[in-house]
Amino acid sequence: MSIRTEPVTMNVGPIHPSTHGVFRMRVTFDGEEIIDVEPVIGYLHRGSEKLAEERTYTQVVTLTDRMDYVASMTNNQSYILSVEKLAGITPSPRGVWLRMIASELQRIASHAVANGFLINDLGAWHTPLLYMLREREKILEMFEMLCGARITNSYLRPGGVFMDAPDQFWPALNRFLDEMPHRIDDIENLLSTNEIVLIRTQNVGVLKKDECLNASITGPVLRASGVDWDLRHKNPYDYYDQISFSRPLGEIGDNHDRFLVRIFEMRESLKILRQCIENIQPGPVRPKEVPFLVRPPKGDSYVPIESPKGELGFYLVSDGGVSPFRCHVRAPSFINLTLLREMVLGDKIADLFVTFGSLDVNMGEVDR
Amino acid sequence: MFGFGLIKGLWVTFKNLIGPTFTVQYPDKRVGLFKVAKYYKQNPFSFLKSHPIDGLKSIVGQAVIKEYPDQFPRFRGQEFNWYEDRCTGCASCAKYCPLGIIEIETHPGENNIQEGTSYDIDVFDIDIGRCMFCGICVEACPFDALHMGSGFEKATEKREELVIAVDELRSADKRPSTWFRPQIEQSSYQPRDKEMDDFHDIGRHEKPTKEELTERWVNER
Amino acid sequence: MNTVMDSVVFKFIYCHLVSSNECVDSFRILGSGFISEKYSIIGFLITSLILILILINGALVGVLALIWGERRLIGRFQARLGPNRWGPWGIFTPVADAIKVMFKEDISPRLSDKFVFVLAPVLMVIPVLMIFAVIPFGKATFLTDLNVGVLFILAITSTNTLSVLMAGWGSGNRYGIIGGLRAVAMLLSYEIPMALAAVGVILMAGSLSIIKVIESQTIPFAIFQPLGFLTFLIAATAELNRSPFDITEAESELIAGYMTEYSSMKFGLFFLGEFMATIAASAVIVCLFLGGWRGPEIIPSHFWFLIKWILMICVFIWFRATFPRLRVDQIMELAWKALFELTLINILAVAILMLIWPDPTILELWIMTGINWIIFFVSLWIFGKLLGPKPEQKDGVSRKIVLQK
């Protein structure tokens, strides 16, 4: 007598402790193995792209903060670079260096959050998460020194940064640069040779090179699968061509590689920060002739940058007025999410959340 | 060998056990004798004489002192500081607010009606229930009359009470944050310590000169 | 085997009640007893009831202390303070927890099986209390000394399994049954390494009675049989449903575990039972492996037991704070492919060593310890190679992160 089994479809609802944000999945599994995953998104849609058509170029900066709410500085940077190209504004050098410093700090903070929550999904009762959040606190304090708000900072303006860094910022940054390598080493010691983490994350959620390239995946996910593509090297914006740093590449694109790639990228960001501090010169942070209301000539522009989650770009179309005519966001999390089904098929249920966490998806960006 | 990774993990956790904590115990925390004496700025003996009950409590480590998290001068707080004698009622702040929460109603003042250089403010409402504290209103004000505040403890029990009316704006404590006001920053003013008493000596932020404006708006176009 | 009259506490209370010939040399402060020898059975019963009352209340107070202690200690492992608002240093937090649990609404699902549903939490708590009856808390301080003490303890820990199964079935929720069955599979598979590791101890002690086990530990068995200690520790962590084996409580992110339909005091009883089991398991490990109340005579033996007990509980909390969770099939693999064989190797090694040196002196004991440690490292290395994570993928591609310039 054979036992008749039947696959079960279950709803992993929008409210769930392990989906980062409001994300719903309809999972079909047979026993322990996953047969089908159907993501349902749209629970955080706020109409940012439509709202941007009614606001002036400076006011849209506040909207871009709130799309990827974990990494606001890089969102601002992508938008402002697009505006500058559209309006033909040359930013001032000190502003650009400050932009790069803020952006690299934000990259460290975002990777810390991503890795911390990944290990949290594995079940290590918040301990590594709290260690990473302790480091992120220092970064958020530095952001408060710079611009008064910790997370949704609207720090960048067309032409540079809107206000110079205060005097307390530079000693705090140097202190941070001295302590952070030890903390990253701590986390690496805690986790990357831990046998339980290795057993849970190796050879799980494998993503091969050609699948990535066919689906336009970008960011640490792509680099963990072995493709050498980083927009800061291939398509340099700001002053990234004057700085030398390396990019970590993985071999097999599984969860463990993605986890390690983010940790190595945090170290590379520290290197970039040191070079920025050496290169920065006193001066104005914003050219004086940039008006409060920017009126770019007719045209369109798209400048992609390397945000912590992948390639982020704002496609701006202007018709000569004070508001953009159309603002479209190429959100990396949205595009990386399309491959969730292929990555997860054949693995067990418990691996679903770990794989999803290692993709580092932010629902604010997916739904806008 | 199998197991060393686990032992390294145990060692890292143990190091954090004997290390310091990073909790900020807001609003009050319980401390022992030396810390509470330092808080009241006395040495331990005079503290024991002046506060006997608190002294007894502090010997067992249960005296209560207040604590606040670190806050920096540019913190965009939850109130607004408005200097009425600088305000002309131009409503630039209301125009550039992305959410449109500032409501201004004015009538022309008695002097200089023809020139219209000054308006008397009837209504100046800011609804901080819907505000996102982005600071664009502060950036837009051409006369440096509106500043962000530095408080964050403004919770009320009804939503209607969250609208700051013009009387409250006039009479509130003035602790402006230095967001977009570099001239206040240069005077090394710390909003948490004391109220800013005299604001008038601090100049306005730098504006483009007439030549630069002509260059940008007339010649380049 | 010791009788109850060998227990100092028992004799103290008994002799205050009954005047009998056995009580001549006992320690009496309040004068001799008032019940005559003919009715000494009444005195016996009263003394037993008093001691049982003390023991149960002590266990409950211990649970309260553990609730507070665990949250503060996990907080310190994570570089933050634990609960510190209610009462000085937060010691009234368990009281707040208890009040919260009691004030919740007691929901009983319509489709549940009422008898089984209500009985399951009770079955979780009561057997664990029975473990405290056989544990000696000091040199001559015990409630009873069964001559099958170790077997008794192993039998009681099996009732945990039954309670989980009843809870899962009684919920009437299909996900409860799935969660409950998974938990039962895990609990059943880890009983075997636990029992076999205890066999290694019994071989050396020569008897199943706990007091004999403690008395025969000139070197604590944790040092003497590291393999047995390690496997017992891992198996005990799994039996307690704690990290890294807490699939029952927390894999219920996806599938609801066996505890979902429980609210209010029934949930409180599950909570209580789990914490009490932690305390009991630590006490058992201290008795079997760490030498019980043995220690240098500078402080009384009760304090040695207390210190070792608290240290063992802290070890369990340390494991919870550090390790992520294993997946269900990996847990089963660990039990059947690794721990089972390791315990068998342990028994073989101990038996062969006992055959070579049947009556060891201290020096020979240390030599046996050395041999056991060598076997420990060798077998861990072999099993690590066979079962551990492999650095290379299947088709020989090696794994490393390349820093590309």
Instruction: With respect to residue B204, please indicate whether it lies within any of the assigned structural domains.
Output: no
Residue C378 in any domain: the answer is: yes
Higher per-residue pLDDT: B157 or A292: B157
A37-51, B40-54, B105-119: least confident range: B105-119
Nearest to C261 by CA among C166, C165, C160, C168: C168
C326 touching chain A per CB within 8 A: yes
Q: Which residue in A307, A158, A301, A332 sits closest to A232, CA to CA? A: A307
Interface of A to B at Cβ within 8 Å reads 55-56, 58-59, 62-63, 127, 131, 134, 137, 141, 144-149, 152, 154, 162-164, 166, 168, 186, 189-191, 193-198, 288-289, 291-292
All residues at 6 or more sequence positions from A93 whose CB lies less than 8 Å from its CB, including other chains: A239, A281, A283
C312 in Cβ contact with C282 (< 8 Å): yes
C85-110: per-residue pLDDT in tens? Answer: 887 888 888 999 889 888 888 877 77
Tokens in use for B2?
């199998």
Which tokens belong to C260?
Answer: 């979902």
Query: Å from A342 to nearest chain B CA?
Result: 31
Q: How far apart are CA A333 and CA C159, in angstroms?
A: 48
**Could you tell me if residue B195 is inside a domain?**
no
Quote ipTM for the complex: 0.84
Q: B3–C384: do the CB atoms touch at under 8 Å?
A: yes
Cis peptide before A248 (omega within 30 of 0): no
Q: How many domains does chain B have?
A: 2
The string of pLDDT tens digits covering residues B155-177 is 889 888 888 887 777 777 777 77
| B198 in a structural domain | no
**Is residue B71 one of the residues assigned to a domain?**
no
Q: What is the DSSP string of C13-58?
A: HHHHHB--GGGTTS--SS-S-SB-GGGHHHHHHHHHHHHHHHHHHH
- Say yes or no for a CB contact (<8 Å) between C79 and B62: no
Cα separation of A57 and A52, whole Å?
8
User: Which domains, ranges and CATH numbers included, belong to chain A?
Assistant: 45-367 (1.10.645.10)
Per-residue pLDDT, B53: 77
Instruction: Give the residue, B121 or C198, on which the prediction is more confident.
Output: C198
pLDDT band at C396 (very low <50, low <70, confident <90, very high): very low
DSSP assignment, residue A36?
Answer: E
Residue type, C247: I
Residues 6+ apart with CB under 8 A from C388: A195, A199, B2
Q: Which residues pair with A38 in a beta bridge?
A: A26
Tens of pLDDT along A69-83? Answer: 888 889 999 999 999
Task: Mark whether B108 and B149 lie in a shared domain.
Answer: yes
In a domain, B13, yes or no: yes
Residues in chain B: 221
Same domain, residue pair B125 and B180? yes
pLDDT digits (tens, 9 = 90+) for B78-132: 888 887 777 777 888 888 888 888 888 887 766 654 444 567 778 888 888 888 8
Q: Residue C271 phi/psi, 5° resolution?
A: -55, -50
The answer to whether the beta carbons of residues A21 and A40 sit under 8 Å apart is no
CA pseudo-torsion sign C82, C83, C89, C91: negative
Task: Report strand pairing: B80-82 vs B146-148.
Answer: antiparallel
CATH of residue B138's domain is 3.30.70.3270
**Which ranges of chain A would DSSP assign to H, the alpha helix?**
48-52, 57-65, 72-87, 93-122, 127-147, 169-191, 195-201, 209-214, 220-224, 231-234, 255-279, 332-337, 340-344, 349-359, 363-367
Choose between C264 and A98: higher pLDDT: A98
CA distance C223 to C309: 17
How many helices, marked H, and strands, marked E, lie in chain C?
Answer: 16, 1
Name which of A23, A25, A116 is nearest A349 in CA terms: A25
- Cβ burial, residue A296 (10 Å; 0-12/13-18/19+): buried
Contact list, B216 vs chain A (CB under 8 Å): 289, 291
Contact C255 A198 (CB under 8 A): no
CA A94 to CA B190: how far, in whole Å?
Answer: 26
Backbone angles phi, psi at C32, to 5 degrees: -80, 170
Q: Between B19, B25, B62, which is nearest C88 by CB?
A: B62
Chain A nearest CA to C205, separation (Å) = 35
CB A195 to CB B2 under 8 A? yes
Over the stretch A298-311, which tens digit does the pLDDT of each residue have? 888 999 999 999 99
What is the Cα–Cα distance from B36 to B28, expressed in whole angstroms?
12
C326/A349 CB distance under 8 A: no
Tell me the residue range of the domain where B117 lies: 80-186
Secondary structure of residue A330 in the 3-state scheme = strand
Say yes or no: B61 and B88 in one domain.
no
Q: By C-alpha distance, which of A362, A302, A305, A303 is closest to A334? A: A362
Beta-carbon count within 10 A of C64 CB: 18
Size of interface B-C (CB pairs under 8 A): 49
Domain count, chain C: 1
pLDDT the model gives residue C53: 92
Nearest to B12 among A62, A149, A189 (CB): A189
A217-263, pLDDT tens digit by residue? 988 998 888 888 888 888 888 888 888 888 888 888 888 888 888 88
B182 and B87 fall within a common domain: yes
Which chain A positions have a beta carbon within 8 Å of C333's beta carbon? none
In B55-182, DSSP assigns E strands to 63-66, 80-82, 102-108, 119-127, 146-148, 163-164
Give me the pLDDT at residue C399, please.
Answer: 58
**CA nearest C141: which of C31, C58, C66, C61?**
C58
Please, what is the Cα angle at A222 between A221 and A226, to 5 degrees?
Answer: 115
The two structure tokens encoding residue C189: 């598979």
A366 within 8 A of A337, measured Cβ to Cβ:
yes
The C-alpha atoms of residue A135 and residue A307 are separated, in whole angstroms, by 19
Determine, for residues C78 and A196 on separate chains, whether the beta-carbon distance falls below 8 Å. no
Chain A contacts in chain B segment 61-120 (CB below 8 A): 70-76, 96, 98
Element (DSSP H or E) covering residue A9:
strand A8-12
Tokens 């009281």 locate to C95
Model pTM score = 0.87
Q: Name every residue whose Cβ is closer than 8 Å to that of residue B63 and which is 6 or more positions away in sequence.
A: B30, B31, B32, B33, B36, B54, B55, B57
CB–CB contact A62 B98 (8 Å): yes
The predicted structure's pLDDT at residue C395: 46
pLDDT mean across residues, chain C = 84
Same domain, B172 and B127: yes
The CA distance from A231 to A98, in Å, is: 19
What is the spatial distance between Cα B96 and Cα A293, in angstroms, rounded to a whole number? Answer: 10
- Residue C237 placed within a domain: yes
pLDDT given for residue B68 in this prediction: 81
Three-state DSSP at A317 gives: strand
Round to whole Å and give the CA distance between C340 and C348: 13
Q: Which two tokens stand for residue C90?
A: 């937060």
Judge whether residue C232 has pLDDT over 90.
Answer: yes
Hey, is the C-beta of C405 within 8 angstroms of any chain A C-beta? Answer: yes
**How confident is the model over A2-21, as pLDDT tens digits?**
788 788 888 888 877 777 78
Nearest CA in chain A to C389: A199
Q: Cα dihedral sign for C147, C151, C157, C162?
A: negative
DSSP C326: P
Taking the C-alpha atoms of residue C122 and residue C269, their distance in angstroms, rounded to an integer, is 7
- Name the residue facing C403 among A124, A248, A348 (closest C-beta): A248
Same domain, B89 and B158: yes
Q: Judge whether B23 lies within some domain.
A: yes
Higher pLDDT: A347 or B201? It is A347
Residue B137 within any structural domain of the chain: yes
The answer to the question of residue B89 being in a domain is yes
DSSP annotation string for C242-310: -TTS-HHHHGGGTS--TTTT--HHHHHHHHHHHHHHHHHHHHHHHHHHS-TT---TTS-HHHHHHHHHH
* Mean pLDDT of chain A, nearest integer: 87
| Inter-residue long-range contacts of C311-316, CB under 8 Å, 24+ positions, other chains counted | C312/C282, C312/C285, C312/C286, C313/C66, C313/C69, C313/C278, C313/C279, C313/C282, C314/C73, C315/C233, C316/C237, C316/C240, C316/C242, C316/C278, C316/C281, C316/C282
Question: In the 8-state DSSP scheme, what is residue A242?
Answer: G
Using the Cβ of C402 and the Cβ atoms of chain A, whether some distance falls under 8 Å is answered with: yes
Residue of C253, C319, C380, C397 to mutate when probing chain A, most A C-beta within 10 A: C253
* CB distance C138 to C309 below 8 Å: no
* Residue-number span of the structural domain to which C338 is assigned: 107-384
Q: What is the mean pLDDT of residues C251-275?
A: 77
Q: Which amino acid is at C63?
A: V
The answer on B44 and B92 residing in a single domain is no
Q: Which of C339, C323, C331 has its CA nearest to residue C183? A: C331
Is the CB of C145 inside 8 Å of chain A's CB atoms? no
